[in-house]
């Protein structure tokens, strides 16, 4: 589930972007043994994207009542390649995840996970097949536990709604544990909403029960950097690290470098790049402009003037190789805009870049 949503970010991220956020939350957690704990947590997170590489690191430091504490950490790295060229829907992805926990009483756990996936990725939907290998251990003994299995999934987005689903049957200690999970996210003005659900079958004789879980979270952004957050739901037992399942309710505040951007995915009624003679032609409709220039990764982000066409559009004759380009229009030498109807992504600095796709 998480990796599918990360893929959405990698496919739509700018060439170079970094964001961070920190949450301060109060929580109430009820574990599967009916023990209930109140806690206060700090949750820092850093994300980084450059070219085909994506990485994120998340931490969690929790103070329980009355004097216990616990820490968790997780790191994810992904490399996403287009072996047949960026105009092809084929993608090859390598993912690595490492995580661990520590408790003031001395209990520790750790796990690793590696995946290889082959994707068919479009602008609005995609699917993949791949394989998973994972390990886990606890300080209470028992040695290293490992699991392997296939994985399959799909993702899609429409406007401000994104969703993903994953099915991964893992074979652990001679037993199969098929697991399904799904996530849907919606952005509506200052509100970000996320819901999730999952199910795992407990193999007969394994001593591990069948589980289902689900929950939701909401973030209300006061501005581009500060949001109030609430979340509640349940989560499953972690087989490889021996961690129990539980139910939770949290509320807090998030401070971020900038609000996560959601790509605009409205289809373009007419291509903005068309073959024109032996070259190609870019054309845009920009209202209330006396002069327009274009800057992009193929211009070195230096402005190139456009000329006004007979129908009022702004035109540039240019030959571009097949691929995906990032660009902006500069209107009257001052305003940087993404033209209406063109998909856009966060540029990593609080603004937007348009996406130009040349078949």
Q: Name the H helices within the chain.
A: 2-12
Tell me: pLDDT of 16 over 70. Answer: no
Task: Give me the pLDDT at residue 32, please.
Answer: 67
> Boundaries of CATH 2.60.40.10 in the chain?
273-358
d(CA 203, CA 177): 6
The strand order across the sheet containing 279-284 reads 273-276, 279-284, 314-317, 307-308
Tell me: pLDDT of 10 over 50. Answer: no
What count of other Cβ atoms lies within 10 Å of the Cβ of residue 62? Answer: 19
pLDDT category at 341 given cuts 50, 70, 90 is confident
Q: Which CATH number fits domain 2-256: 2.60.120.10, 3.40.50.300, 1.10.3300.10, 2.40.160.40?
A: 2.40.160.40
pLDDT category at 33 given cuts 50, 70, 90 is low
d(CA 260, CA 249): 23
Range scoring the smallest mean pLDDT among 181-190, 263-272, 330-339: 263-272
Task: Give me the pLDDT at residue 184, please.
Answer: 96
Three-state SS letters, 17-61 = EEEEEEEEEEEEEEECCCCEEEEEEEEEEEEEEECCEEEEEEEEE
Range scoring the smallest mean pLDDT among 38-42, 164-168, 198-202: 38-42
pLDDT category at 67 given cuts 50, 70, 90 is confident
> Boundaries of CATH 2.40.160.40 in the chain?
2-256
Closest by CA to 175, choosing from 194, 201, 153, 195, is 201
pLDDT category at 322 given cuts 50, 70, 90 is confident
CA of 108: how far to CAs of 111, 237, 241, 257, in Å? Answer: 11, 16, 9, 32
What count of other Cβ atoms lies within 10 Å of the Cβ of residue 276? Answer: 14
Please state the pTM of the whole predicted model: 0.70
DSSP state at residue 187: E
Range scoring the smallest mean pLDDT among 28-32, 66-70, 186-190, 285-289: 28-32
Of residues 126 and 148, more confidently modeled: 148
| Sign of torsion over alpha carbons 206, 207, 209, 215 | negative
SS3 223: coil
pLDDT in tens, 132-153: 999 999 998 778 999 999 999 9
Contact between 131 and 115 (Cβ < 8 Å): yes
pLDDT in tens, 77-118: 998 887 876 556 788 999 999 999 999 988 999 999 999 999
Of residues 18 and 265, more confidently modeled: 18
Mean pLDDT of 29-34: 71
Mean pLDDT of 22-28: 92
Residue where the block lists tokens 């972007």: 17
Tokens standing for residue 150: 């296939």
Tell me: pLDDT of 265 over 90. Answer: no
d(CA 93, CA 74): 19
Task: Give me the pLDDT at residue 302, please.
Answer: 86
Task: Give me the pLDDT at residue 261, please.
Answer: 57
- The mean pLDDT value of the chain amounts to 84
Specify whether domain 273-358 bears CATH 3.30.460.80: no
Tell me: pLDDT of 268 over 60. Answer: no
Residue where the block lists tokens 């991964």: 168
Tell me: pLDDT of 242 over 90. Answer: no
Tokens standing for residue 9: 């970010």
């Amino acid at each position: 589930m998480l990796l599918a949503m990360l893929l959405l970010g990698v496919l739509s991220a700018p060439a170079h972007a970094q964001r961070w956020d920190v949450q301060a939350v109060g929580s109430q957690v009820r574990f599967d043994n009916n023990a209930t704990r109140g806690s206060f947590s700090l949750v820092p997170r850093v994300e980084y994207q450059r070219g085909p590489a994506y990485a994120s690191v998340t931490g969690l430091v929790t103070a329980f009542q009355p004097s216990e504490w616990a820490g968790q950490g997780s790191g994810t790295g992904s490399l996403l390649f287009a072996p047949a060229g960026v105009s092809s829907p084929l993608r090859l992805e390598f993912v690595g995840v490492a995580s661990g926990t520590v408790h003031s009483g001395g209990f520790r756990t750790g796990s690793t996970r590696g995946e290889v996936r082959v994707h068919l990725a479009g602008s609005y939907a995609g699917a993949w097949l791949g394989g998973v290998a994972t390990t886990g251990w606890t300080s209470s003994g028992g040695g290293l536990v490992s699991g392997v299995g296939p994985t399959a999934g799909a993702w899609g987005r429409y406007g401000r709604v994104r969703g993903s689903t994953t099915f991964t049957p893992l074979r652990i200690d001679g037993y199969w544990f098929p697991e399904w999970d799904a996530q849907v996210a919606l952005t509506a003005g200052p509100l970000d909403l996320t819901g999730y659900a999952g199910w795992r079958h407990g193999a007969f004789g394994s001593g591990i029960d069948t589980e289902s879980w689900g929950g939701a979270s909401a973030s209300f952004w006061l501005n581009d950097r500060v949001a109030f957050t609430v979340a509640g739901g349940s989560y499953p037992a972690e087989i490889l690290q021996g961690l129990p399942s539980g139910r939770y309710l949290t509320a807090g505040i998030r401070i971020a470098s900038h609000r996560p951007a959601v790509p605009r995915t409205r289809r373009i009624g007419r291509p903005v790049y068309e073959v024109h003679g032996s070259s190609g032609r870019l054309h845009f409709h920009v209202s209330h402009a006396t002069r327009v220039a274009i800057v992009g990764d193929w211009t070195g982000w230096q402005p190139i003037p456009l000329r006004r066409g007979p129908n009022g559009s702004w035109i540039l004759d240019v030959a571009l190789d097949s691929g995906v380009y990032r660009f902006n229009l500069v209107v009257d030498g001052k305003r940087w805009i993404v033209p209406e109807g063109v998909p856009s992504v966060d540029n990593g600095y609080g603004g937007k870049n348009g996406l130009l796709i040349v078949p």
